[in-house]
Amino acid sequence: MGTQQEKDELYALDISGVEWEGPPGTSPEEERVEIARLPEGAVAMRSSLDRETVLRYTAAEWEAFVLGARDGEFDLDRREP
């Protein structure tokens, strides 16, 4: 995944002017997960209920997450206790 230097650079980016997107059919006033696209394929993610806490992912991390989600890796009914 991302090196420590990549993560440090990612968290050093000023993202105050990014455009946050939520799932289609939702509004910013609803509880939802929002993402913002960053340079070089990186992505920032936050909750609409806590806009100050932002997670940032390198392009490789985001790709791994998306592929895992598509494959059902995070489905609660598939997890073992």
Looking at the DSSP bridge assignments, the partners of residue 47 are: 33, 50
70 lies in some domain: yes
SS3 state of residue 36: strand
58 lies in some domain: yes
CA 34, CA 81: separation in Å to the nearest integer? 29
81 lies in some domain: no
59 lies in some domain: yes
21 lies in some domain: yes
Tell me how many domains the chain contains.
Answer: 1
18 lies in some domain: yes
pLDDT in tens, 22-62: 999 998 889 999 999 999 999 999 999 999 999 999 999 99
Sequence-ordered list of residues with C-beta below 8 angstroms from that of 35, at least 6 positions apart, any chain:
20, 21, 43, 44, 45
CA 46, CA 34: separation in Å to the nearest integer? 5
- What's the pTM value of the predicted model, to 2 decimals? 0.83
pLDDT (mean) for 55-72: 95
Q: Which domain holds residue 38?
A: 4-76
pLDDT value of residue 81: 60
